[in-house]
Amino acid sequence: MEVINPQTETYLREDKQLLVITHLSQLLTYITGFGGLLVPLILWIINKDKVKGMDHHGKEIVNFQLSLILYFIICIPLILFFGLGILGFIFLGIISLILPIINGIRASNLENPNYLFTIRFF
């Protein structure tokens, strides 16, 4: 007996705007301080079975945000070692601002996201 899954990729809708919004919602961290992980996570969980490419983009975003949190935690004790933690905070702040914008543009062109220094949790 063959099981047919109606939620195959052929039935998924293509929504470039939602993919772009999901990438750019990471920038909420600069406005609210905490939305950079929660909003993309919620959008990913709700739409991963409905929008084409959302599962892959959502995994990349959540992996990137979790990696950033881990790197920020590592930078805290590095402040004691010649201020390396402060340089780490500056570097992480810059890439957490630039990479969501770049990958939002890539999502609008239906390209795969590419986040540097990301640990693959999912």
pLDDT band at 7 (very low <50, low <70, confident <90, very high): low
Model pLDDT, residue 114: 93
In a domain, 104, yes or no: yes
SS3 37: helix
**Is position 36 within any domain?**
yes
Does residue 118 belong to any structural domain of this protein?
no
Q: What is the pLDDT of residue 90?
A: 96
pLDDT of residue 57: 95
CB neighbourhood size of 14 (10 A): 10
Q: Which residue has the tokens 């770049």?
A: 102
pLDDT per residue as tens digits for the range 73-99: 999 999 988 889 999 999 999 999 999
**Given this model, what pLDDT does residue 10 score?**
59
Domain total in the chain: 1
Residue 40 lies in a domain: yes
Q: Does residue 75 lie in a domain region?
A: yes
Domain, as residue range, for 29: 12-108
What was the pLDDT predicted at 3? 53
Q: DSSP assignment, residue 34?
A: S
70 inside domain: yes
Instruction: Quickly list DSSP for 48-89.
Output: TTTBTTHHHHHHHHHHHHHHHHHHHHHHHHHTTTTTHHHHHH
- Residue 56 maps to a domain: yes
Q: How do residues 16-72 score in pLDDT, each as one tens digit?
A: 999 999 999 999 999 988 888 999 999 999 999 999 999 999 999 999 999 999 999
Q: Which residues contact 71 (CB under 8 A, 6 or more apart)?
A: 88, 92, 117
Is 6 a domain residue?
Answer: no
Q: pLDDT value at position 112? A: 93
In 10 A of CB 38, how many CB atoms? 14
Shortest CA distance to 53 belongs to which of 28, 18, 105? 18
